[in-house]
Structure 1
Amino acid sequence: MPYRMQLFVDISTLLKPLADYAEILLHIKKTLSAEMSPIIVVGASYGGREVASSAPILYFDNITPSNAYYDLVSKDFREASESCYKTIKQSWAEIDKAAAGKKWTYCSLLKDVSELKDYLEFMYTGAAQYDDPQEYPVNKACEGIDGDSEGTYTLGRIFSGIVALRGENSCHDVDEFFSDETLDSSWGWQTCSEMVSPIGIGKNETMFQADPFYLTEYRDSCNKSFGVVPRPHWITTYYGGHDIRVVLKRFGSNIIFSNGHRDPCSSAGVLENISDNIIAVTTKNSSHCLDIQPATEDDPEWLVMQRKIEMDMVHDWFLKYSADLLQN
């Protein structure tokens, strides 16, 4: 096995970081003579922990509809501007015809029009997922798209939206997010081996072209890139996921699932309370992992309150733990 691939196997499996966490925490508690001290674990996105921020734990094994992520991206843009949404929706067919026209200058030769489509898709999904209140990139992109003078052709408007997001550049690097180094990553290996999320775009009312998830094609791609065969049922077999309300209610405690409804990952998150101490904290306008980002003076009141709710819950966990220790 090539060294780089062996490295992925050695350090990038889900079991490895969990074991490392346990070893490190036990060592710290022993070193500090704090064996009886409680531990609160905070994690974000795929690494959700007790305070699980934006953790899409239900995007496995067809628990969540394949379209859900892109449905929410489209909803974010549509709420920002109906005309922006329609322009993006119409642009894909135009790109097929014109490969972006005269306004676009590429940093390297465009080998296939799909490269440009992938680049734009990545820009739109990133704007929606990280639509933070300091920047609101979805609004920024739509302001660029809608701000062109009347009569500007569709791809010219798309160009203006990208300029609004990325600024003026001498050329556009459509490979920016898709270099060999980026693709040949531990995350790519994980999603090909252990964490198969069947995210796709079906024939629905999104602003994207249809691109369904097909396991056979995904299997071929993973085998070509990493020499591994996806195991789509492994993660739910090992950790659960189906009937999560019943399972967690019986075997879980002290978990906060926090999600913002503008974050596409919330489509696969836990959005309702499961028990008295497995709580869902949701906000209408929050984006991906925003609640565990450093606080700023410009944070909106709803974000301040979300963090306070979460910290009050954690404080209650400490009080209950301390009371239980005294009783024993």
Structure 2
Amino acid sequence: MIFAMDSSVEWLLFLVVFLSISISSSSADRIGIPRGAAVLKKHHLPSKRAFSGDLHTYFYTQTLDHFNYKPESYATFQQRYVINYKYWGGGAVSAPIFVCLGAEQALETDLQTIGFLDDNAARFNALIVYIEHRYYGESVPFGSREEAFRNAYRMGYLNSAQALADYAEIIADMKNNLQASHSPVIVIGASYGGMLASWFRLKYPHLALGALASSAPVLYFDNITPSDAFYSIITKSFRLIGINNVQETSESCYQTIRRSWSVIDSYASQPWGLSVLSSKFRTC
């Protein structure tokens, strides 16, 4: 895609503005993510459940397994996504598209935590798209969560490579349906969603002009980042407790948590210990 000089300057300004904004969120070796199958046109179905205001909900008939050409790979499920057309200038003028890549939560959470997109969409006349991650919210294969998580085989389709291919299919088909083939796409995410945005830009550069990854641990892998780095930071947080906007040290809190590990280890070593711990902590 070729832009005139003034357009390039505008997009450079856009990226600078976006990178200066932090997304609130809860909570390098090359990653071996396989190439996806060819992007196919699918049907977009309007949702029976609509969000209020300017948000329009759709369901896309998504491929369950993008990397398998056996008959079982033809299975599909309905993947939810939401579009806000309010500020969009249209495909005729190559107005941009901001795509929020869903993470490990229902789409409703994304809608509540990244409201800054509206401000920037108004400035750049952009379309806003939120895509729900497979296996979360209403984008669950096999008909229900119980069936989707029934065994390890079915849970195997819940992975980042499949999720990236999901996003690629929806974005490509949506741009075609909206006659927006020249509209640049910026993918956006936070934490795990930010990692997805980074990987999407690397794997599908023909679909995404740029990526905004906030609080994304893209280098948090073995032999790159010390394995205890995250826990060291959390330890410091528990040692420094904020009370009435005053920071105070809390060595007792730190020591209490530290002593709990020996108690847990003691329980786990008993024949009945794992069952007790599973019940207490409600593990799955």
The interval holding the TM-score normalised by the smaller chain is: 0.3 to 0.5
Q: TM-score, normalised by structure 2?
A: 0.33
More helix by share: 1
TM-score normalised by length of structure 1: 0.29
Q: Which has the higher contact order (CA 8 A, sep 6+)?
A: 1
